[in-house]
Structures are given as C-alpha cells and as structure tokens.
Structure 1
Amino acid sequence: MVDAHRTFVIVGGGLAGAKAAETLRAEGFTGRVILIGDERDHPYERPPLSKGYLAGKEERDSVFVHEPAWYAQTEIELHLGQSVVAVERDAKAVHLGDGAVIQYDKLLLATGAEPRRLDIPGTDLAGVHHLRRLAHADRLSRVLATLGRDNGHLLIAGAGWIGLEVAAAARGYGAEVTVVEPEPTPLHQVIGPELGQVFTELHREHGVRFHFGVRLTEITGQDGVVLAARTDDGEEHPAHHVLAAIGAAPRTALAEAAGLALVDRAHGGGVAVDASLRTSDPDIYAAGDVAAQHHPLLDLRLRVEHWANALNGGPAAARAMLGKDVVYDRVPYFFSDQYDLGMEYSGWAPPGSYDQVVLRGDAAKREFIAFWLKDRRVLAGMNVNVWDVTDPIQELIRTGTPVDPEALADPGTPLSAHLDVP
C-alpha cells in the first residue's frame, strides 16, 4: 500500500528514470513514485537503437527496461506521452503540458539529451534523419532495409559511435554508405588518432567510404527527396538519405528555467550536480545524460552520455533521494559492436590528457587492449575482442598505480600483476 504522505517525482522516461524508480521500491520507499516521460513508449534502453534492434537482430520488445505490467505491480505511476513544462521550486511542484500540477518532496531530473541538428540548407527534407528515440530507430530500420534492397546510398554526418554503428548496420542491410567527418579519424575526440585508424580500416574493409577533414554545407533534393550532399571542399556526394550523427546536447531547458546551476557548453554542458547527484537545489537531483557531475575519482566535472551511466546513476540518485550516504564514483564505461568487432572502454582520456598509448595484443587482427597513460598511470583502457578484463582495467584506473609500459604491453603478464608495481 502506497503512503501518499511523500511523493518522489522522476522527470524522464529513459533508463536512468526507470532504474531510479525500481531502486526506490527496492530500497523500501512506500511513498508515491511518479515517472513522467514525453514519449508514449514505456522506458527503454538506447544501445539497441543503433545496434541489435536497428540491425534487425533483436525484437522491438527486447529494448524495454521492464514489462509494461511491472509499473502497476510496483505501484509506479506512469505519465507517458506527457511533457513537464515547468518546475516551480518554491512550491515544490512540476507543471505538465496538459495543465496538471504535481507536488513533490524530492525530484529527479533524468531528461537525457537530444541530437544536435545540422545547421545547413536542406535539413527539412524528408530523408534527413536523427537517431535518439525508439521512433527514430523504427523509421531508420525500415529506411536501411529499403536502401539495401534498392542499392541505395546513406550519407552519415559524423564518425562517432552512433555514426559508426549505424554505418555497420546499414552495410549489413547492403546499403551503400559514405561517412563525412571533420576530424582526421573516427572517434577522434574519444580515443584519439592512435586508435581511430583501427576503425577506419574496419569500416573500409566492409565497403564504407570516408571523407575526413570536411563538413557538410548543404543537402540537396527535389520534391522533398534527398538527392545529394555537398561538403566544404566543393565535392558533391550521392545520397538518398542522410543521418545527422554529430553528437547530442543535454536537455537542460527545464533546469535552466527553474534556476538550477548549469555547466557551460564549452565544458560539456548539463545540470551541475555533486558526488551524490544533487543539484544546486537540495531537493532536486539529476542523473543520466543530463547530469554534469563533479567526479570524485577523476577530480573533474564530467557529463557521460553512455548506457552504464544511466544504468548506475539512476539508482545512485534514488538512494541519495532517500537520504543515504552516496558517493557516485564509478569509472566511466561504454561498449560498442560493429561487424565482428566488439569493444569495451573504461576511463576518461580525451586527446591532450595522456602522454602515451600502450597496445597489448594484435591490433592488425583487432584483438588487443589499448591503454592511455599519463605519467605511467592508466587513465583509460579499451579492450577489443578481448573479454573478461574490464575489472582489472578499471582497478588500474581507480588505484592510479604506476605501471611499467613494457610489461603492460606483454600479454604474458597478467593485468593483476601491475597492481603491485611500485
């Protein structure tokens, strides 16, 4: 039986919000839990949208966090297809788009992020796509199947994780694929130039065309249909459909209007939260893609847009809302599947933060571990088609243990042995 004397409201119907609601009940909270999402679909996980589901290897129902009946069984009140238009902090109330007002004792903002838009002519054509929501994946999977059947051409703006995963899915359907990227390698801002070439070669072997160092300037079409795309080097690229995969922006409008502290876009943007995921308002928390946390382990403010952060951040915020002593300091983690390559990445090592990259294994066979080092300490590690090594990699990052780079590169030396290096 729900005790109506306390109400916790969660704004955002994604993985972070759903796992927060689950955790509140698992921790024994008996008050009202109200989960508000602006999509009509029940909360779902996003990785399949660019991986298994998009590629036609997983069923649509497999993406959902819980069975629909679970919410009623656990007495979670769902408001789907409903937007929150304002947070009134003094009155501790959220205002919904239909005019309803809901009071809260604690509030969690898990509003996520939205795709960045191309600011060029032609983006209003019907064949221009983004991939963030389940409805986007529904549509794009049909497009890829049609392109594959008709030998059609997909142009992707952006060689980040989404762009590369969609490229792999598109080639799986048989579509022609061109990727346009302003950086010199794929994933340049994540794994740097040293490892980007691995992904260039992988995709070229599967027939993907890359154009590096250029940006789209215009998408051309006729009668609403995409025909081609132009880049700033003067070239015109054939295209029947275009995917804008140039990153995502945190959905902070609600928090900004409420007067919560934000982080400047130049530093990743997002709602500023402390180590317990509390915002500048002691009764409001933020988790998932929208939260820019001061990370206790890394000693910097970081906004992480990946699945693991939503999976673990939602529960951490829920426990903090219940008054528990929470320090959210998990090592950032994400994974990707492209063709026969599977990888996991742990840590944080953007270009300029490291002084050495150490490879362990065979990069030519795409079976290796890469380590990004600074002063002989591991900042990040990426295992490619090598498994069951995430725990020792993360332990090396967490402890900051100095390592011997030569021994680290030796597959014959167990990773656990490096934890004892003086």
Structure 2
Amino acid sequence: MAHYHRDTECIHAGYQPGNGESRVLPITQSTTFRYDSAETLGKLFDLEEDGFFYTRLGNPTLDAVEKKIAALEGGVGALLTSSGQAASLISVLNICHAGGHVVCSSAIYGGTFNLFYKTMHEMGIDFTFLPADCTEAELEAAFRENTRCVFAESLCNPSLVVTDLEMFAGAAHRHGVPMIVDNTFPTPINCHPFEFGVDIVTHSTTKYMDGHAVQVGGCIVDSGNFNWKNGKFPEFTEPDESYHGVVYAERFGNMAYIVKARTHLMRDLGAQASPTNAFLLNLGLETLAVRMERHCANALAMARYLEKNDKISWVNYPGLEGNRYHALAEKYMPNGSCGVISFGIKGGREAAQRFMDHLKLASVVIHVADLRTCVLHPASTTHRQLSDAQLEEAGVGPDMIRMSVGIENIADILADVEQALAQV
C-alpha cells in the first residue's frame, strides 16, 4: 500500500479487499480457526508461523484495525485491548515486574493513576509521580537503578497540561529505558509522539477514535525504535520457556515488544477486544480526521467565549494564545489539540453543579471525547479517589468543569452554555 496522508489512512489502512470481497471490513465473529494438520497448529503455538488460531491472541477483524492504528501512529505493530485501562496495564507490565520502578506524570487520568498508585503498587511495582510540567532536573532526579520506563500523557486528562515529549523521552533514553505516552486526547491526527522520541503509545479507543460512545477499548502501539538489547531487559534477550525458549529480540527484531505483549500478557491476562467492538472502532476511525478538525474548531470558539464571560474565573485550553502550554501545543500539536476544555465558575463547586444541572443540549456524563457535547465535575467523579494533595498535584481543583465540546453546530452549543450560566 502506498504511503498516504493520515486522513486517507483513516479510511484505507489495515484492510484491502480482494476481487469480489467485502468492501467494508467484515466481522469475523469466531473464537477459533480450523487447520488441516496438528503440525501447523503446533507451529502456531510455538510462534514459528503466523496465523490466527484463537481470538484471544488474534483475529482477522482485530488484525485489520491494529494495522490501521499502527499506520496512523507510524508504528511497526499494535495490539487492541478490552479497555484503555488494559492498554495502560499491559504496556507497563510487559517490561516492568515486581521490584521494578516507573517514573510517571502525576497529571494522568484518575483511573490510570489509581491503577498505578494502588493496584500495580500491590503487585510490587513502585511509581514516582511528578508534575507533567516538571523541570528537566526534577525529572532526572526521579530515576533509580531499577527504573524500567517513563509514562505520561501527551495531553493530560483533565488538566490539559501539554507534556514536553522530547524532554521526557530524552531523559528516559539517557537512563536506558523506553518512554510510554498515552495519546488518547490528541489522537494520531493531532500529535505524533514517535516523531519526538517516544517509544510506545497507548490509547483509550473508547474516546475520539471511536467517537460515538459505542465500544470500550484500548490499544498499544510499538514504534519499533527502542533497543531491547541494551542489557536492561532480559525478558527480550533470554529464552522464554513458556514458548519453548523463544528469544523475542532475536526472533522478532524490532517487533519484539508488541509480540511479547500479545503472546505473553494477552495470552495470560485475556484482556482482548471483541471482533464486534473492533468493527465499531473501525467505523469511528474512518471519520476521525474530519471529526477532530470540527472538535478543535468548536472547542477553541467555546474557550474564547468563556474567556470573556464575567462568570468564569479561569479557562484552560492549549489553543488559546495566552495559555501557559500554548507554545508546547504549537510544537507538538500544531493543527489543534482536542475538543476538551476545562474551566472554573465563580462560586466554586456549588456554582459548577448549578451550571451543569441547567444544561439542556450538553449531557452530564462520565464519558468524554465523543461527538456529543458533555460535561463532568472531575473532583467528585473520575478523580474522587485522590486525596486533596493528589488532586492539587494532578491539576484538578474543586471548581473545575471538564467540557468535551462535540461536533454539533457551535451556535447551539454556545447558546446552551449561555442559558445555563444565566442560572448561576
């Protein structure tokens, strides 16, 4: 296939029908696949041949969508998971075990923070959390001898801090470890982390990639650029006895990381996406580029409106010229960031709740980043498990409202916000 622009690859990458075959990606709704000989099936189990034999490890529908997302991110391979949480878990667990350590941005999605802070800590993995806008010296000081990776979000949810990807990736590489970035909010349409030294990208495909709130999913994408033979990662250079001694770095080269994530962790954890969900995700991906353009235009118009409203105490959106992260956004997301903005209403938490209660077009929902405008109060929902100190470190104040601006006509969205503010 020729190398096309990303908006074209949204439609065509991953699946090319042959003569007389379905033009639309088919749903292969089957758990298993038939072979003519036990020898062939044995070779598949030993990773000596490529092919589908059980949907937990691979399926034609999933494979096509994985190839599309890998093409959009510019990676060598991808793995669909059952949720964004599963993608975050597997991306780290693939290279970090009990006794290991991770340097992590504190301004990450609340659910991811809890996964790392509680569940993975209970698994024996230690995390050092530091601000996403930390200095390079602060970042360097966080590394330890047992550090295995660095994790951050390209555009943090919901604080909208733009991470300095080159600085974080540079520090990771100086310490011989990979940089993992959750690229959910800007998507590969607006941010290309691999071009700035990032090694692994994750997504909650539930958000903009789907765009219609019809499936829960996640994805891990491997750049293929990290050197797993640098002496720090024996899981790639020593035999895996559960696969009769396969050495991932030797057998699979620059795809070692994503192959191990699939054949080891997906095999054992079973957090696979369903073929039907992959089909629905693909439909969303086909319109991702045009939707992101509308989301960003609407969000910028909303942010500018709120900036001038005397009932609003502050507005945070990287597209605003006066925003503290505007320069980084111009560097890493020159065509726009996403449709999510955050702001505070004078009067604090009570005023924020009154505002949300009077919205008519916009919905109050936990979800974010689909085509419908919606709002949320993060401190009492997605981040409610965090302490006050952790909320402050994550950039989530008690007055913060997260608004995911949809693709409705911007005049209708603005009118809805205006009438709700009149009730505050």
Q: Normalising to structure 2: TM-score of the pair?
A: 0.30
Higher helix share: 2
Q: Normalising to structure 1: TM-score of the pair?
A: 0.30
Higher strand share: 1
